Structures are given as structure tokens and as C-alpha cells.
Amino acid sequence: MKKSLLLIVTVCSLAVVSLLGFRQASDPNRAYQEILQYQSEQMRAAQQAGTQPDRAAISAEVRKRAEAAIAGVDPASVDATNGLAWARLFNMAQKNEGAITLLQRFLGTSPADALKSQAQNLLVSLLYNTEKIDELIKFLETVEPVKPDGGLGLLNFAAFASEDISAKVGVARALAILNRIEAAIDFKAITDPRQIQAATNARMNALESRVDLLIADNKSAEAMKAIDAMIASLPESDNANKRRLGSLKNQKMLVGSAAPELVFDRKHGNFTNLAAWRGKVVIVDFFAHWCGPCKASLPSLGALYNELHSKGLEMVHVTRLYGFYEAERNMAPDVEFGKMVGFMEQHKMTWPVIYVDNATFEKYGVSGIPHVAVVDKKGVVRKLKIGFSPAGIDAFKKDILALLAE
């Protein structure tokens, strides 16, 4: 599934300013509003000046102000009814343990539905980002989503984290979590057009994760039935999502089929074709130089390649020309191609990178990147992995080792 990027919730707040500098906030809600105002002013000033905002500098200042705002605050003893506001400040100060404690205490105060939903979503994000997968699982197995649509964020997050949950407790419990949260949402009661679209997107995300889990559990036929059922449930006019699901079905049907050959027109490194690598396990990773999750995955994939290359693992990264590189636009193909040399050196990529056309992306069902296809020694696609999460790399390595042992 698409995890085109690692999920990080950023919630902002600002400490009260005195003539001597920053001091602890006495009103966390006011501090929260002030930091939002600060960020807005900085972004607006850059826009008016026709320049790119210095996001790193803004983030550093925000963190500094948030740290001042929470100085001396004990998450275990402040008024729990203000826990969400304080948690936002702690989160922006990157004090996630304190934020988690505050959110857990806040949710025990029977807050208003809107605030309860915000706290639930922030908590699951923090539990995931701090790799507290056991606590995340326990929370998702017991949380009561706010009706009718408060569970949409939770469903999206359960879908996003499903691979990590499955790696920890197995496919059955990961599926049960998805099913439980989706069943708790009253989709028929959602009438606002924007929320209807949000609900459809959440259902689609949950379906994609459900399909991935079923295929990983060798239940491809059941996965295809789940896609067909979702297609049948959509309104006749929803052609966009029907096409999306049709593409998903084609993508998943690739598993168990012969890997389409990679036809390229330029390359860095030593690559001829997949046929030349028969008898080896091959990681085919569709990526782009601008893709954050793609770049985040490279250290883990590089370590895996370096460890297992001598045992029969090969890897090729597949991309295409985009006409730009970083801030440079309208770039000639040869210039953009040349930029990849520095990219590969920066990310210590010692395996080949090839450039293909859109047709090759379509043959592999690429709808989001990174998109990894694992090809076995006989040239058959055995696994598709969309997106990247650090917590899932151990399970991925286990799959590779099993294929190498065949």
C-alpha cells in the first residue's frame, strides 16, 4: 500500500513572550494559538516577499518557544482537562513521552467529542512515531471512535500502520483492528460532501491495507473478492475510485506472475535485464529523487543489500525523468540524468539505477512510491510492498531470507 511517506502529525503552540524572553505558558490554549499565529505570519511574510520560507529556521524557533512554554510542567500532575493543549506544546517541543502521558490523562476526563477525536488521533500518531507498537495495538483494539465520523482518522492510521501491527501480532489481529474501527463508523450518517469524500478515502485506504494483509497471508482470492465488493459498493458516478480499484486489482494480480521485463533507455551501474539475474532474488524499487519516503528507505535497503548480496540478492532502482531536480526547473534530460550520480553517492547506492517509460510503471501497477516488487529466483513476482516504514524492515528481511533459501 501507499505509504508515500512516513506519517508525522505536527501540532503547534507558542510560549508567552515577556520583555526578558520566553517564560512558561500559564494558558496552554493561548500559547497554542500564538504559535499558530507566529507560523502563519512567517509563511505570509515569505509569500509576500516572493521567497521560499525558511522552514528549518521556523521549526527551530517554534521548538524553542514550545520548550520555554512547557518548562517546569509535569505531565503527570497538570490539570488533566488541559491535557490536549499541553500535549500539543509537548509535541512541538519534541517531548513525545510527556505528550503521550498528557493525552492518556486527557482522554480519561470524558472530553467533548471534537476534542476527544483530536486527542485520539494525536495519540495514535505519537505511539507509532515513538515505536510503541504494543501500546498502539492495545489502544486501537479498545478505542471507541467518536460517531459519526470521528473514527475516519483512526481508520486511516490503522491502515497506515497495518504492516507494522501485522509484523508484531500477526495478520489476523491486524485485520481485526481494521474491521473493528471501520465497523464503528456510521458511514450512512455522514452527509457533509467533504466528509463523504473523506469517508470514501478512509475506506479505500483500509481496503488497500486489508488486501495487502490477505495476500501476505496467502489469501489472494479473498483479497480480490474484497476489491470487487468495494467496487460494487461505490456509486455508479464514482469512476475515479473505480479506476483506482481496478488498478489496485491489476497490481495485486501481478503477485504470482512472471515479472515484466524492465525496458530502459539509460542507466547508472551494471544492469542488463531481469533474465540475466535468474537464480537470484531481486528487489525492484520504483522511486524518485524528490520522494521523501523513497530517500528514507535507502539506508535500510542499502544495509539489506550489503548484507545479502553475496548470498544471491540483487537490487535495481527504477525511475523516470521528471524535468527538475531539487529547486532547478525545466531541466534537460541529460542534465537531470547526470544529477543522479551525486544522488547515488550521497545515499551510498552501489546498485544500478535505470530509467524507464510510463508503460513500465503501469505494468508493475505503480500508483505510489516507493513501490517495491520482489522477484524470486524463477523470475516470479512474490511480493509487492508500497511505501516505507522502519518498523516493517525486519519482516521484509525475513521474506527475502525465505526466498533466498528456496
Q: How far apart are CA 310 and CA 316, in angstroms?
A: 15
Q: What is the pLDDT of residue 114?
A: 94
| Residues 383/387/391/397 CA torsion (nearest 10 deg) | 30
Given this model, what pLDDT does residue 23 score?
A: 55
- For the chain, which residues score pLDDT lower than 70? 1-25
Q: Are 157 and 124 in contact (CB under 8 A)?
A: yes
Which tens digit of pLDDT belongs to each residue from 105-156? 999 999 999 999 999 999 999 999 999 999 999 999 999 999 888 899 999 9
Q: In whole angstroms, what separates CA 76 from the centre of its chain? A: 31
State residue 4's pLDDT score. Answer: 37
Determine how β-strand 353-356 pairs with β-strand 264-268: antiparallel
pTM to 2 decimal places: 0.66
Q: Which residues, other chains included, contact 172 with Cβ-Cβ below 8 Å and sequence gap of 6+? A: none
The SS3 call for residue 21 is strand
